[in-house]
Amino acid sequence: MRLASCAFYLLSCLTFGLCLVNSSSSDSEVNGAPLPVVLWHGMGDTCCFPFSLGSIKKLIEEHTNGTYVRSLKIGGNLVLDYESGFFIHPNKQVDYVCKQLAQDEKLTDGYNAIGFSQGGQFLRALAQRCPSPPMRTLISLGGQHQGIFGLPKCPTLKQSSCEYITKLLNYAAYEDWVQQQLVQATYWHDPLHETSYRLKSTFLADINNELYVNERYSENLNKLKRLVLVKFLNDTIVQPKESQWFQFYEPGQDQHIQPLNQSKVYENLGLALLEQRKRLHLLSVEGDHLAISKDWFVKHLVPMLLD
């Protein structure tokens, strides 16, 4: 029975894209008034499921004296919010969120942000394109900042649907209609066809300054107090998992990972300057995609929301 319970729990983690493991740590006492926190969910999730971002929202509130936490909902209801993770182009989502946050008076003085899986690169795009209200700290949990080249699992989708999406990505990711209709195609990064990726990617190549260098992106990214990139060491969803640290395959092959400081994005996007200023933080955690404990979250991430 215990083995069956553990198996069900792990399946829930991979299905809904986020797990917080109960821990024995007591609540910490917090003084002062920390900045508000904005959350952006990943693929196959929504803003408000009580077992995913709902629990994260509650956890942050408990450990920050009830600071304001806004979990982003794309569209007017949870169905649209869920579908946005697959079928609403990231450019449209980022533009929508930019307008929504500008109308939120509680964010006027700035906010911290946490992105889950693809929500990590969406929030980074927001920081680069929409600097008002100002984002102070960006924490990316499992974000695919150099894209993906493989889709081994599709949370909350039937196997047949996952197989269909995988075939589209493998054979037609850079077709215009696929780019416009499938979110995952917009950050599909084929190292065997780098030119096609740079020319035809309608989202990731742009926010990574890979087609041409948009200095505004670099300047806005360097306004962050911190860029925190969390990699899951046993990740079975993100391929390659090093993308969570802005690393990727060396061009022309899909075996060897290029060191971050040897990639063009390191200079072109201003990551080198962020690292020089000690604002780039690379963290790692044991576990599969987004499977983190409350202890780890409170110990490593909550202090960044309080500072």
89 noted as active-site residue: no
Assess contact for 188 and 166: CB atoms under 8 A.
no
Mapped onto helix, strand or coil, the DSSP state of residue 228 is: strand
295 noted as active-site residue: no
Q: What contacts 78, CB < 8 A, 6 or more positions away?
A: 46, 47, 48
Q: What contacts 42, CB < 8 A, 6 or more positions away?
A: 17, 18, 85, 115, 116, 117, 118, 119, 120, 142, 155, 290
Q: Which of 81, 190, 235, 288 is catalytic?
A: 235
What are the Cα distances from residue 212, in Å, to 194, 205, 216? Answer: 14, 9, 12
User: What sections of the chain are H helices per DSSP?
Assistant: 2-16, 53-63, 78-87, 90-102, 118-129, 159-172, 176-181, 194-200, 204-207, 215-221, 264-268, 271-276, 294-296, 302-306
Residue 139 phi, psi dihedral angles, 5° rounding: -110, 120
Residue by residue, DSSP assigns 160-184 as HHHHHHHHHHHHHTTSHHHHHH-GG
Q: Which of 41, 145, 189, 289 is catalytic?
A: 289
Distance CA 213, CA 271 (A): 13
27 noted as active-site residue: no
Q: Which of 52, 71, 117, 243 is catalytic?
A: 117
Q: Which residues are catalytic?
A: 117, 235, 289
